[in-house]
Structure 1
């Protein structure tokens, strides 16, 4: 006789697997949870994307300063600006006007369903950010004319090899309005202000 699926046992198993991996201690964490605990955990997890975005942005600042030959003094200034920016603030994730101007949008999209392709909503989000990097963002202090004088970057957090495959696939199938305007950055590449350069950062 075929055994029926038990959703409760499945959810318990997955919950325990995740927390055993995170805490390096195999236990029945699920049985210790109350509804209040689950609600509190849900609130905490809603901030995870902000944490990953912040850490990735700080790493990008270091990379960008190497690419653009920005001094250590300016790098510290840029890092301090990132650290003092609230997650809810409008504008680009990094927008710097100094000896060299540059802007950046950071994306932390893991390909859906454990695959190696971004979902339609993820692709729409990437497309939207690429467009504002090229054309400016209304809620940024950098106006539409000024954006032309900035180096432009989109940073993708590299979760794993599937993320690399997903962004390469996306770049091979760019929407028409972005063709010829976006390029995957490679070490040592000469860059210009007319393109958006995609960087993968771990």
Structure 2
């Protein structure tokens, strides 16, 4: 006969396994060492996880842009510093390049819901808002005109689910956007009138 379900045992096992596997490498009972106040502090700290993922993806995208545009490669530190000095709450683009070439980019780290093949309603709303922002501009951004910039919607690559979710998003865009959003391909000839979706790992 199997043991009855024990909620705390399950929570403890999952928490301890995660900490040991991902952080310490040592299997210990971390759960029992933490008070409710400690867990609340941990919860507060973990609110920054999304910002950490976005930051790392942005850095990877700067590297990607550097590989595709010599001007950015020559001025890499300028754009790295731009990202380092931008607060997560600021309402501009996640990356702005001006000079020999102009680039604007929004970075998204949306994982398709339930490990499925489409984005959730709120995720989709946010993505479409960013697409419009790339195409027509943002009221708080005066330093660059979208019509004069290459536009990228950068999505963290969670694998095939991300590709299929992006394809589903494009397929279901409104008529005014459907022909303006494309998946980036290496052979793509960039068009200033389009938003290119780039997957970054």
- 1:69 maps to what in 2? 70
- 3-state secondary structure, aligned to 2:127: helix
Distance change (3 Å), C-alpha of 1:79 and 1:2:
same
Whether 1:135 aligns to 2:118 is no
Paired position in structure 1 for 2:55 = 54
TM-score w.r.t. structure 1 length?
A: 0.89
- How many angstroms does 1:88 deviate by? 1.8
Aligned residues: 200
User: 1:177, 1:14 → 2: CA distance?
Assistant: 46
Asked whether the 8 Å contact 2:154–2:198 carries over to 1, the reply is yes
Task: Deviation per CA, 1:34-93: give whole Å up to 9, x if none.
Answer: 112111111111111111111111111121233233253322211221111111222000
* Structure 1 residue aligned with 2:197: 198
TM-score w.r.t. the length of structure 2 is: 0.90
- Unpaired segments of 5 or more residues in structure 1? none
**What is the Cα deviation at residue 2 of structure 1?**
9.3
Distance 1:80 1:188 in 2: 30
Looking at structure 2, the residues matched to 37 and 189 of structure 1 have their Cα atoms a distance apart, in angstroms, of 50
Write the mapping of 1:97-116 to structure 2, written as runs, cut at 5 A: 97-116=98-117
- Runs (5+) with no aligned partner, structure 2: none
The 3 A distance-change label for structure 1 pair 14 and 136 is same
Please say if 1:184 is aligned against 2:183: yes
CA root-mean-square deviation: 2.0
